[in-house]
């Protein structure tokens, strides 16, 4: 095949690069089939003016105090994202299949509150309260958005979680923006110190310890992001006993949630605030610059910035270091 136009040449280049990564069958299933599925769903739902996503939920979207509503189909049209996240946290470590989760022998409580990006503040708040009331010790939140209709209702749920000694672990988002200055919700910018002490926000790191260490898509923030964790080409569980590599801070967040579960299972006396402090203090510090692309598109300017300026800790989580540090905390009250 000889390209006749620049567009054809670019398509050929993309195809050749993708085929180097695996077989044509893998490329067809991952790129073509999923692409058709994605745009079909866009046409049927997101771009369909006659479609009301709340019909199946059966609630009043304007009533933030409403509790007893919802769709009982917990799997929904696509359970890949949540299944992948759950596998990172706690996939069986003894069955010799697929992957090993970060935490061993933990219970996963699946609470479906943001299907296909339909993320309402009342749904998030109700999901947090439900998880807390049903025994969760760590809540992973692999979702986010740029606008919050009613941040107050989520804030109150976050305060409730902190009051019950539950640790919140949240993905920083995938827009490659500084969330110190730009909006990403939920966030704790207007919350009290006790709630912030029980809340970890996680950026995504790449596989190489060089200028590409910051995942190109990951949000960051010297005051709003606590730590970074692996979030590029993460292999984990998906429905129907399959496995898949995915990218995102959605994958980095459950790495930290799994670590928090690991610490709390070995040292149950530790508070949520202590667990956060341990995870932040035990990071592997990164003392070199990373590449940051300012904006979108191929022509966006690039800058070199210290990795240490991307988060509060300036480092990447490390389970071994965290467990060693946790052993020195057990029973001690160093974080309030």
3-state secondary structure the chain: CCCCCHHHHHHHHHHHHHHHHCCHHHHHHHHHHHHHHHHHHHHHHHCCCCCCCCCCCCCCCCCCCCCCCCCCCCCCCCCHHHHHHHHHHHCCCCCCCCCCCCCCCCCCCCCCCCHHHCCCHHHHHHHHHHHHHCCCCEEEECCCECCCCCHHHHHHHHHHHHHCCCEEEEECCCCCCECCCCCCECCCCCCCHHHHCCEEEEEEECCCCCCCCECCCCCECCCCCCEEEECCCEEEEECCCEEEEECCHHHHHHHHHHHHHHHHHHCCCCCHHHHHHHHHHCCEECCCEEEEECCCCCCCCEEEEEHHHCCCCCEECCHHHHHHHHHHHCCCCCCC
What does the pLDDT look like over 237-265, one tens digit per residue?
A: 999 999 999 999 999 999 999 999 999 99
335 band by pLDDT with thresholds 50, 70 and 90:
very low
Q: Residue 118 has what pLDDT?
A: 63
Q: Which CATH number fits domain 62-329: 3.40.50.200, 1.25.40.10, 3.40.50.1580, 3.40.50.150?
A: 3.40.50.200
Q: List the domain boundaries for the chain.
A: 1-51, 62-329
pLDDT tens-place string over residues 178-207: 999 999 999 999 999 999 999 999 999 999
Q: What is the pLDDT of residue 71?
A: 84
Whether pLDDT at 76 is above 80? no
Per cent of the chain over pLDDT 90 is: 68
Q: Place 21 in a pLDDT band, splitting at 50, 70 and 90.
A: confident
- pLDDT for the residue 1: 66
In this prediction the pTM is: 0.86
pLDDT digits (tens, 9 = 90+) for 314-324: 999 999 999 99
Give the position of tokens 């667990």.
275
pLDDT at 164 over 90: yes
Kindly report the average pLDDT of the chain as a whole number.
Answer: 91
């Amino acid at each position: 095949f000889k390209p006749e136009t620049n567009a054809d040449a670019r398509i050929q280049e993309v195809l050749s690069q993708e085929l180097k990564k695996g077989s044509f069958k893998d490329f067809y299933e991952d790129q073509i089939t999923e692409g058709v599925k994605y745009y079909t769903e866009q046409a049927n739902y997101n771009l369909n003016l006659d479609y009301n996503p709340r019909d199946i939920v059966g609630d009043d979207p304007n009533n933030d105090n409403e509790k007893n509503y919802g769709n009982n189909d917990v799997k929904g049209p696509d359970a890949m994202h949540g299944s992948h996240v759950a596998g990172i946290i706690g996939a069986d470590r003894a069955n010799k299949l697929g992957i090993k989760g970060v935490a061993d022998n933990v219970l996963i409580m699946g609470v479906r509150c943001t299907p296909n990006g339909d993320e309402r503040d009342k749904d998030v708040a109700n999901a947090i309260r439900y998880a807390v009331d049903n025994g969760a010790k760590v809540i992973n939140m692999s979702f986010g958005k740029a606008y919050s209709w009613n941040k107050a209702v989520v804030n109150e749920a976050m305060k409730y979680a902190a009051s019950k000694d539950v640790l919140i672990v949240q993905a920083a988002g995938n827009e490659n923006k500084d969330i110190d200055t730009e909006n990403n919700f939920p966030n704790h910018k207007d919350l009290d110190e006790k709630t912030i002490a029980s809340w970890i926000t996680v950026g995504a790191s790449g596989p190489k310890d060089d200028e590409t260490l910051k995942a190109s898509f990951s949000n960051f923030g010297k005051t709003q992001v606590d730590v970074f964790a692996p979030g590029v080409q993460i292999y984990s569980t998906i429905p129907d006993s399959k496995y898949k590599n995915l990218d995102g801070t959605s994958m980095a967040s459950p790495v930290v949630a799994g670590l928090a579960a690991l610490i709390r299972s070995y040292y149950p006396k530790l508070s949520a605030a202590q667990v956060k402090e341990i995870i932040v203090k035990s990071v592997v510090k990164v003392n070199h610059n990373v590449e940051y692309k300012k904006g979108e598109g191929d022509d966006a300017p690039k800058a070199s910035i210290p990795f240490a300026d991307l988060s509060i800790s300036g480092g990447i989580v490390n389970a071994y270091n965290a467990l060693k540090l946790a052993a020195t905390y057990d029973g001690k009250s160093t974080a309030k």
